[in-house]
Amino acid sequence: MNAYDEYMKGIVQPMRQELVNVGFTELTTPEDVNEFMATANGVSLVVINSVCGCAAGLARPAVREAIEEVKPDHLVTVFAGQDREATEAMRGFFEEVPPSSPSIAILKDGQLEYFIPRDQIENHPVEQIRDHLAGVLKQTCTK
C-alpha cells in the first residue's frame, strides 16, 4: 500500500465506523457483495457511503436515526471511492438507477424496492431524510 492509500485509509476509518458502530456490515470486495446478495432474504438497507460532507452531515446521521425507529433484517454498506470494486458490484444489482453517492437503497429479497439518491440527501435537513427513510422502511418491512 502506498503512502496516499495509507493516508486515505486513516481518514475514512471514522466514516466507516460510524455505520459499523450501529450494526452495519461493511462489504469491501465484490465477493462480499455477491455472497451477501446470494443470501439476502427479507429487507436490506444498503448505504453507499462517501467521504463528502453530505454523507457526514446528512446521510449517515439520518440513517442512524431512522434505524432506531425501524430496523430492517440486514444493514450493509459499501464505500464509494474507497472500495470501488465492491461499490460497482453492489450497483450492479440495481443498474436501473444512476450511480450516486452517498445514496441509500432498500432491497427486499435482493430486489430494489426503493432508492434515495444524493440529490434527495444533499441540501435537505437531516430530519427530512430520516423521516423519508423511516417511512419507506416502515412500508417495506410490513409488506
Give catalytic residues, as residue numbers.
52, 54
Contact 121, 58 (CB under 8 A): yes
Q: What is the DSSP string of the chain?
A: --HHHHHHHHHHHHHHHHHHTTTPEE--SHHHHHHHHHT--SEEEEEEE-SSHHIIIIIHHHHHHHHHH---SEEEEEETTTSHHHHHHHHGGGTTS---SSEEEEEETTEEEEEE-GGGTTTS-HHHHHHHHHHHHHHHHT-
